[in-house]
Structure 1
Amino acid sequence: MVDEDRRSALWRAVADAAGTPGQGTWGRSVCRNCVDILDGIDAATVTLRATASAQDMLGASAEWAGLLEDQQYTLGEGPGIQAFTQGTPVLVDDLPAADSRWPIFAEAAQAAGAAAMFAFPLQLGAIALGTLDLYRRTPGALPAGTVAEAATLADLIALALLARADRAEATGQDWLRRTGSYHDVHIATGILAARHSISLADAFVRLRAHAFGRGASVLDSARDVIARRIDVTEPGE
């Protein structure tokens, strides 16, 4: 349990973050505040998730953590995706030892210097928004108190995002950033689906396989499709 004084401090880490909820500046600020306020955490990311093919990273406290978030999206595996799918925290105190669960992601995490990862769903009731993913460079479990605080932070982040969404809907604003986001993936998926007369799901599978095959992110490959620098006619091509 988190007492009221500590909960207030956690809320300030979210409410006092620079920028507007749902925007990149706010996301990065929240992630840095999470690292500052949680013991034993080296990096954090906040990512909106809708489906396996719809993800938008709002912010990361460190570049290497952001790259690992991209890896989860490109590979379609990892603690963050599992936490979002099952709606419960996924706590991995030794990532290299988790290679049987997420073999390619575990290898990517080890190469980036991440030894442990703790993913918490951004969820209020039946509304699931994404995940708060926490990383550390040394293996080991988080103390129970830190786990409780991280789960509370995830709830508060979700609350801030939903409150902003409600205000934006009332005023007709677009509360989510679009420029430079994973919105490009949706556009590229639609282009491939129309071009090759396949479903959106199959188009995304081809895009993801192509990105993995060339060692690129899904986002970069999507932008290449939009710019007509590449075409993806078969998975992995």
Structure 2
Amino acid sequence: MSKTRDQRLATAFVSLADTLVADFDVVDFLGTLTERAVELLEVDAAGVILTDQRGGWRPAAASSEHSGLVEVFAAQTRQGPCLDCVHSGRVIASPDLSADTGRWPEFAGLAVDAGFRSASAVPMRLRDDIIGALTLLRAQPGDIDEASVELGQALADVATIGILQQRAVSREEIVSEQLQATLHRRTVIEQAKGVLAEHGNLNMHEAYTLLRRYARGSGRRMSDVAHDLANQALDPDELFGRHGNSRSGQPPSSKEASG
């Protein structure tokens, strides 16, 4: 019997709060945040940007690794509701992205091309400190309902607390070091995705799925596996041999941007 929405919400909050473990993987953790957002909030895609501690913002996770969606979230580091959200500290929404090409020409254009028509961004914050934002995208125009936005904010708040408390000696240490490490690991994961995609003729989402499945199956952090792949310390055939062909045989769902 399938879980009720309340049960799934409770499970999501528990998983996002459970960060005080020795093998905590913040990249996988943020991936879980975006996946739970899509599952629970009646949206079609979700993504996270984080501060790089130098006055800039960088993409850290997305609910799908398909190229169209990755480009949308990369654009959000330069313009869009997510960037406006981290600067203002409040929810920023666009019920019709096609009408916002004047406000966010690059972001809105890429989002519409990828099949999205509306967006909302909620801040990832602890008190007055904003470390990033969670963006929610829908394929249909119109405001994302208030209940979903409020739940999205609650998920973002819990995730923020989880990141900042993980092995924290001080909040300053986490903000300045943990987030830097997260963004570095994401860069290494991008390199490993490229290795797997070229080796196995996969698209980037399939490569990411294979990398994540292997890391979980072997009890290792995804960033550590990615590091070994990028540095040729791990043969890509090991991943394909353990899990076989990562292609599902199914076309991308409506919750995955075209890529």
TM-score by length of 2: 0.58
Amino acid at match of 2:128: A
* Residues 120, 131 of structure 1: 8 Å contact kept: yes
2:29 aligned with 1:20:
no
Please give the alpha-carbon distance, in whole angstroms, between the structure 1 residues aligned to 2:186 and 2:40: 29
Distance 1:167 1:104, change over 3 A: same
Please give the alpha-carbon distance, in whole angstroms, between the structure 2 residues aligned to 1:97 and 1:14: 35
Q: CA deviation at 1:27?
A: 1.6
2:79 aligned with 1:77:
yes
Is 118-127 or 137-146 further displaced after alignment?
Answer: 137-146
Q: CA RMSD in A?
A: 3.1
Please give the alpha-carbon distance, in whole angstroms, between the structure 1 residues aligned to 2:33 and 2:119: 18
Which residue does the alignment assign to 1:181?
187
Which residue does the alignment assign to 2:38?
35
- Give the secondary structure class of the aligned counterpart of 2:147: helix
Flag as ranges the 4+ runs of structure 1 deviating above 4 A.
4-7, 16-19, 50-53, 167-170
* Residues 96, 110 of structure 1: 8 Å contact kept: yes
Distance 1:54 1:111, change over 3 A: same
Q: CA deviation at 1:72?
A: 2.1
Please give the alpha-carbon distance, in whole angstroms, between the structure 2 residues aligned to 1:126 and 1:53: 16
Amino acid at match of 1:68: V
Please give the alpha-carbon distance, in whole angstroms, between the structure 1 residues aligned to 2:131 and 2:167: 11
- Give the secondary structure class of the aligned counterpart of 1:166: coil
Amino acid at match of 2:187: S
Alignment of 1:147-186 (within 5 A): 147-164=149-166, 166=168, 169=173, 176-177=181-182, 178-181=184-187
Please give the alpha-carbon distance, in whole angstroms, between the structure 2 residues aligned to 1:97 and 1:174: 38
Please give the alpha-carbon distance, in whole angstroms, between the structure 1 residues aligned to 2:54 and 2:82: 11
Q: Which runs of 5+ in 1 are unaligned?
A: 183-237
Q: Which runs of 5+ in 2 are unaligned?
A: 1-5, 189-259
Is 42-51 or 161-170 further displaced after alignment?
Answer: 161-170
Q: CA deviation at 1:55?
A: 2.4
* Residues 47, 63 of structure 2: 8 Å contact kept: yes
Which residue does the alignment assign to 2:94?
92
Which residue does the alignment assign to 2:230?
none
Please give the alpha-carbon distance, in whole angstroms, between the structure 2 residues aligned to 1:180 and 1:148: 28
- Give the secondary structure class of the aligned counterpart of 2:187: coil
Which residue does the alignment assign to 1:139?
141
Please give the alpha-carbon distance, in whole angstroms, between the structure 1 residues aligned to 2:52 and 2:98: 28
TM-score by length of 1: 0.63
